[in-house]
């Protein structure tokens, strides 16, 4: 039987935990009522849903009636941002390092003639606090930030950002997709207004997510004439009780071991960075080295192209930081917004460590990536130019490589 490659793409999705699967199964065929039914079966299902909502609320220190179940973080963000901006008719603020789904929302708002402003970040992807304050002094609205960046792992100081937002009577939405269940989140202490998360990022099922909405802000996202008994009048449709139970179980399991997992994953991160830098020259770690979630490592192998490295590293499953379309290289919008040099950005890969990653897995990754890099550099005209001291980025500017 062909051996599967080692999975190092946990930021993309995670395998469903067996305990989560076991927790869900009874709600597919034993406890199968519709929560809107008034009989025994409906009450049984409603009880399961209420328990799931309470579990999640307990894990992040909010009230249960502030948790809205959705199909995932993308839908959660769309509800929070689009409906709030539609009601307030104010400015939408975000950074170009945000997840593509948030950038798409910004694009849509601009098509609808709503004002959008992009906030500055530094070369590590950290939000420029002075720029934030300056922009909020001039315009009120809704700010959306990514707590842990999905490409670099950079962690924002959400408490300080929230304080500045509220200082100028602005609301804040936090995309916590890569943070939920991986770092401690005390939402009442952070005082954020909206938060999005997905079940499949925390070893739960796909197709389920949550939107946290502070109770006082639910007036902005409630749908006119909606049934107030279904997700507080915010989202319509039959509630998928098994998936909600699965999210809650995954949340519970993740929160129990956050400290232990952070320590273990940080050790694996340090091993990877130390050894890969020892093996190869011109290796760059993109993102903050002091404020990050350690499970996401964005690393550039200068002189190589990200997709080529992926193809050559056949024993591991990883993601590239660049996308290849129509025979033209496109650079990650995240790294581009951070001001990373094009030749470094297009050589980036994302190593995402997870619950099942071992030190042996990391060593295989190092071995594969080292061999692949040496092979590709040996036949690379770009690498020869770099070694000769030629500024390769001028070739990006002239259009030999296209980025955007």
Pairing state of beta strands 67-70 and 209-213?
antiparallel
The pLDDT of residue 282: 95
Confidence of residue 329 (pLDDT cuts 50, 70, 90): low
Least confident of 83-87, 188-192, 230-234, 268-272: 230-234
- Given a cut of 80, whether residue 218 has pLDDT beyond it is yes
Burial bucket for residue 74 (CB in 10 Å: 0-12, 13-18, 19+): buried
The stretch 360-387 carries a mean pLDDT of: 94
Higher pLDDT, 395 or 51: 51
Strands 348-352 and 296-301: what pairing?
antiparallel
**Distance separating alpha carbons of residues 359 and 366, to the nearest angstrom:** 11
Degrees to nearest 5, angle at CA 140 with 137 and 144: 105
Does 10 score more than 50 pLDDT?
yes
Please give the C-alpha separations between residue 171 and each of 36, 63, 94, 125, 168, in angstroms, as whole numbers.
Answer: 33, 19, 12, 22, 9
> Considering only CA atoms, which of 269, 356, 369 is closest in space to residue 315?
369
Higher pLDDT, 403 or 159: 159
- For the chain, the average pLDDT equals 92
Of all residues in the chain, what percent carry a pLDDT higher than 90?
Answer: 81
> Per residue in 19-52, pLDDT tens?
999 999 999 999 888 888 889 999 999 999 999 9
Confidence of residue 230 (pLDDT cuts 50, 70, 90): confident
In the predicted structure, residue 327 carries a pLDDT above the cut 70: no
Q: Is 71 left (phi over 0), alpha (psi -120 to 50) or beta?
A: alpha
Give the residue-averaged pLDDT of 70-84: 96
Q: Categorize the per-residue pLDDT at 322 as very low, low, confident or very high, splitting at 50, 70 and 90.
A: very low
Would you say residue 299 has pLDDT above 70?
Answer: yes
Distance of CA 28 to the CA centre of its chain: 29
Contact (CB, 8 A) for 31 and 237: no
Against a cut of 0.85, is the pTM above it? yes
Task: Write out pLDDT tens, residues 141-153.
Answer: 999 999 999 999 9
pLDDT digits (tens, 9 = 90+) for 79-117: 999 999 999 999 999 999 999 999 999 999 999 999 999
pLDDT digits (tens, 9 = 90+) for 273-294: 999 999 999 999 999 999 999 9
pLDDT surpassing 50 at residue 402 = no
What torsion, rounded to 10 degrees, do the Cα atoms 249, 251, 253, 256 define? -140
What the chain holds in terms of domains, given with CATH numbers, is 18-256 (3.40.640.10), 258-397 (3.90.1150.10)
Q: Is the pLDDT of residue 57 over 50?
A: yes
- Cβ atoms of 42 and 384 closer than 8 Å: no
Closest Cα partner for 7 from 364, 312, 367? Answer: 364
Q: What is the pLDDT of residues 117-133, one digit of tens each?
A: 999 999 999 999 999 99
Could you tell me if 294 and 304 are in contact, meaning their C-beta atoms sit under 8 angstroms apart? no
Please check the confidence at residue 404 and state whether its pLDDT lies above 90.
no
Close Cβ partners of 54 (under 8 Å, ≥ 6 residues apart): 64
Pairwise CA distance, residues 217 & 328, whole Å: 44
209-213: strand order across its sheet: 67-70, 209-213, 194-198, 171-175, 141-146, 91-95, 116-119
257 is an active site residue: no
């Amino acid at each position: 039987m062909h051996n599967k490659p080692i999975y190092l793409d946990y930021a993309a999705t995670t395998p469903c935990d067996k305990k989560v699967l076991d927790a869900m199964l009874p709600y597919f065929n034993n406890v199968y009522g519709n929560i809107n039914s008034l009989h025994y079966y409906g009450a049984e299902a409603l009880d399961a849903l209420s328990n799931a909502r309470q579990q999640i609320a307990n894990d992040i220190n909010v009230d249960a009636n502030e948790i809205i179940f959705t199909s995932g973080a993308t839908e959660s963000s769309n509800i929070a941002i689009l409906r709030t901006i539609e009601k307030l008719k104010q400015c939408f603020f975000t950074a170009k390092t945000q997840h593509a789904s948030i950038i798409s929302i910004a694009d849509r708002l601009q098509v609808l003639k709503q004002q959008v402003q992009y906030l500055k970040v530094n070369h590590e992807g950290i939000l420029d606090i002075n720029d934030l304050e300056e922009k909020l002094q001039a315009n009120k609205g809704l700010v959306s930030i990514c707590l842990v960046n999905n490409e670099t792992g950079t962690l924002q100081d959400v408490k300080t950002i929230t304080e500045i937002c509220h200082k100028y009577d602005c609301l804040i939405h936090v995309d916590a997709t890569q943070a939920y269940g991986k770092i401690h989140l005390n939402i009442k202490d952070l005082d954020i207004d909206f938060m999005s998360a997905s079940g499949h990022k925390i070893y739960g099922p796909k197709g389920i997510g949550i939107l946290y909405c502070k109770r006082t802000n639910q007036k902005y996202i409630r749908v006119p004439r909606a049934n107030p008994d279904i997700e507080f009048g915010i989202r319509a449709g039959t509630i998928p009780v098994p998936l909600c139970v699965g999210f809650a179980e995954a949340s519970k399991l993740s929160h129990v071991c956050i400290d232990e997992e952070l320590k273990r994953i940080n050790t694996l991160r340090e091993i990877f960075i130390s050894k890969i830098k020892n093996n190869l020259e011109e290796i760059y770690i993109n993102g903050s080295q002091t404020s990050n979630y350690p499970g996401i490592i964005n690393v550039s192998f200068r002189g190589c192209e990200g997709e080529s490295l992926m193809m050559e590293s056949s024993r591991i499953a990883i993601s590239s930081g660049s996308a290849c379309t129509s025979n033209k290289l496109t650079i990650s919008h995240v790294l581009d917004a951070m001001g990373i040099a094009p030749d470094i950005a297009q050589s980036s890969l994302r190593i995402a460590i997870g619950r099942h990653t071992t030190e042996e897995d990391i060593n295989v990754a190092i071995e594969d990536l080292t061999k692949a890099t040496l092979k590709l550099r040996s036949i690379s005209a770009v690498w020869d130019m770099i070694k000769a001291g030629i500024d390769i980025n001028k070739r990006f500017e002239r259009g030999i490589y296209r980025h955007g």
